Structure 1
């Protein structure tokens, strides 16, 4: 088995949030997450990522903080397979740049019939925790103009 990160460190914004601002020190276990908590943290970050739009053309070859989110897809047609593949590629690129805890991300984008502007997105990959790697999947139903809600698809 390949080695991965030894702990599931919470994202920066989760670590900056202080649930007990009047306590002088954080609990030591706050940085390391258990399997379900790690999957939930990744799900929440994927939700933020998919609900944030960036310009269709990034400022640099490599995405930076200013490019956070997925490329604006409102100009694409959910009816065209090539546009759905383009949207999936944009999601993979955003995940690779901004959610590195999800390793080897794969994205499938399907048209939800009979809704013309509705898509189903399935994001899969692997998470690492304490030298252990396990598969995860998240699904989302996307409708233009609506918030994208993501659910953790249990594989265990």
Structure 2
């Protein structure tokens, strides 16, 4: 919370994720003017988009068919290399029939690993054969202290690791 001549002044935005706050973004500066820790709405959206891009382009180890992501002690951050029934590297991105299943899996993964985006929805928009990537649109709601904002992020998701 900031203060002006009258009293406390509320800033719209939210706190930065913990690991971002613990990282020294400017090691050459001994004392920062304002400690990094609060994100404006635009910085918050950029931070979420960066995290979604990282999440959807990270592959986890292959899990056995008997393993369940939710029941393992390890944190499997990212997209499993055996997403759904097929290996993602063997996934036919041109198959529009498979897009709904992929969108459902991605929604579950985003819900688990990006808690700042509430009620996420994923829509696979197209497959880029040249780059072997899916163009996905991720929408959801960001909550600030007394407000909420509906947002959408376009993400390119590589199909091969």
Q: Same-fold call, TM > 0.5?
A: yes
Q: Residue 19 of structure 2 is aligned with which of 13, 36, 43? A: 13
Say if 1:14 and 1:62 are closer, same or farther in 2 by CA, change over 3 A.
farther
Cα deviation, residue 67, structure 1? 0.6
Q: State the Cα deviation string for residues 104-156 of structure 1 (Å, max 9, x = none).
A: 0000013347759442200000111222100110112345348xxxxxxxxxx
- Number of equivalences: 140
Unaligned runs of 5+ in 2: 1-11, 82-87
Say if 1:36 and 1:62 are closer, same or farther in 2 by CA, change over 3 A.
farther
TM-score by length of 1: 0.72
Q: How far apart in 2 are the matches of 1:119 and 1:141? A: 6
Q: Which structure's relative contact order is higher, taking Cα pairs within 8 Å and 6+ residues apart?
A: 1
CA-based RMSD: 3.0
Partner SS state of residue 79, structure 1: coil
Say if 1:101 and 1:83 are closer, same or farther in 2 by CA, change over 3 A.
same
Q: How far apart in 1 are the matches of 2:118 and 2:156? A: 22
1:68-147 map, 5 Å: 68-72=77-81, 73-112=88-127, 117-145=132-160
In the alignment, which residue of structure 1 is the partner of 2:7?
A: none
Bigger Rg over Cα = 2
Cα deviation, residue 79, structure 1? 2.5
In the alignment, which residue of structure 2 is the partner of 1:152?
A: none
Partners of 2:136 and 2:155 within 8 A in 1: yes
Q: How far apart in 2 are the matches of 1:103 and 1:65? A: 24
TM-score by length of 2: 0.70
Unaligned runs of 5+ in 1: 1-5, 147-156
